[in-house]
Structure 1
């Protein structure tokens, strides 16, 4: 299954620019990460290696280290400046190990990871089936994938406002919960569980929402997006269309948050793949020890 096409180079550039200011706008992302960490309270697992997949600036690292004090935490992201922020997490004795790579092609050996924790990352993958297969490949038998992503109702108000102005995509597309669950099953995960909830942020102006999205690096990266600058007249038309959604003096921005988990089977065939042993990964960004 392929996701709505994302221009990965454009997305990487956006997250690279956003790295230094990301935490100032990541209210929703932190809330989702906290809810995912709470879910781990009900799961019996004693991992040796935890992969924070799409770690961003590493907000979840502290919580993962507190929960699994004997585990090594590897932060992986496709934007290196994000990892420079993540590298500062944890105590000086337990800085996370960092790896700049794409979630769709993990440079890790088979069956080396006990827990993959991935918060709000998979919507940036063009081939979710391949991404899940890679997660399955690197998990040890009995390992767990726990993730969140966004469903089709995410930013529905902004999408509708833009649709009233032109026919170009201005909001990235998102995959339905049921299709994500089917992809987990096809990737051979055992006992998959999917659920979703709706969360809403509110803004005084549309410009405030767009500023937050830009600060997060979550600007439009659809391959079919309209290139070039957006004129003031079109922005004014979007703002006017969005006004229809104003409630109690505020403009809502809806998010459909999709959660999923799946287990690597205890008995499974060895998957094909070219990978680098985890022991060969440099512990520092930029090389050297």
Structure 2
């Protein structure tokens, strides 16, 4: 991706998440589920540990990390998200840094752990990202991350494809790209585990409201055309092909949970 288009893309992503900062927690049950699976891999006692929460959002996991005794650096692309994080984590040992994960402002091997849940799918260049993260963790430090893989939200993607030819669902990294980035970053050991997680909805519109509510609405390369009500109705009809016997509609996420030891 060209540098200018990449910068414009990140600005649009930050704006989308910023608009959703105050509604995020209401719509983020899936995000919390994945984050809890990830944080379970970290030590229960993080006293005297410096932890970078990369893509901290509203600070739900920054708070939990701090309550484990960690000195937390909450890092996010969106200033509005960081403001929500500050409200949640006041009186805890948390500092706040706004920036782009692909242009980290940190120097030296200063972090014991990096925790990043469902953030790196918004990054363009995974090998460079992993290498830069390896550069800021201490020897034997660990990076824990979760991300979405290609194939996520295939039901929504398929339903929109029956309505028009525009892109309505983001493209995600393939597992092969994750493994290549981990291998190129070096380190003593790395692993990536994959799983499918299905969230059930009463309607396709409810799913789309959740996506809007967390700010996951920026689609790279999509035009700014307004979505017509008739198109939404057509998607709702197309989505019915996936419903179960209870009339519920699935949203399937392909999730990768990975770690790397320096």
> What is residue 24 of structure 1 aligned with on the other side?
26
Q: Is the 8 A contact 2:66 2:94 kept in 1?
A: no
> What is residue 237 of structure 1 aligned with on the other side?
234
> What is residue 224 of structure 2 aligned with on the other side?
227
Q: How does 1:16-95 map to 2 (within 5 A)?
A: 16-41=18-43, 48-67=49-68, 69=69, 71-90=70-89, 92=91, 94-95=92-93
Greater Cα shift, 210-219 or 197-206: 197-206
In structure 2, runs of 5+ residues without a counterpart are none
Q: TM-score, normalised by structure 2?
A: 0.92
Q: 1:119–1:179: structure 2 CA closer, same or farther, 3 Å change rule?
A: same
Q: Is the 8 A contact 2:194 2:256 kept in 1?
A: yes
Q: Is the 8 A contact 2:51 2:113 kept in 1?
A: yes
Q: Is the 8 A contact 1:88 1:95 kept in 2?
A: no
Are residues 1:214 and 2:215 paired? no
Aligned equivalent of 1:246, options 213, 219, 243: 243
Q: Is the 8 A contact 2:156 2:239 kept in 1?
A: yes
Report the CA distance between 1:40 and its aligned residue: 1.6
> What is residue 253 of structure 2 aligned with on the other side?
255
> What is residue 15 of structure 1 aligned with on the other side?
17
- Structure 2: distance between partners of 1:37 and 1:152: 23
> What is residue 122 of structure 1 aligned with on the other side?
120
- Structure 1: distance between partners of 2:90 and 2:234: 49
- Structure 2: distance between partners of 1:233 and 1:90: 43
Describe the superposition over 1:129-178 as per-residue Cα deviations: whole angstroms up to 9, x where unpaired: 22112111111111110000001121110011111222221111111223
Q: TM-score, normalised by structure 1?
A: 0.84
Q: After TM superposition, where is structure 1 displaced by more than 3 Å over at least 4 residues in a row?
A: 44-47
Q: Greater helix share, 1 or 2?
A: 2
> What is residue 273 of structure 1 aligned with on the other side?
none
- Structure 1: distance between partners of 2:133 and 2:192: 17
In structure 1, runs of 5+ residues without a counterpart are 265-289
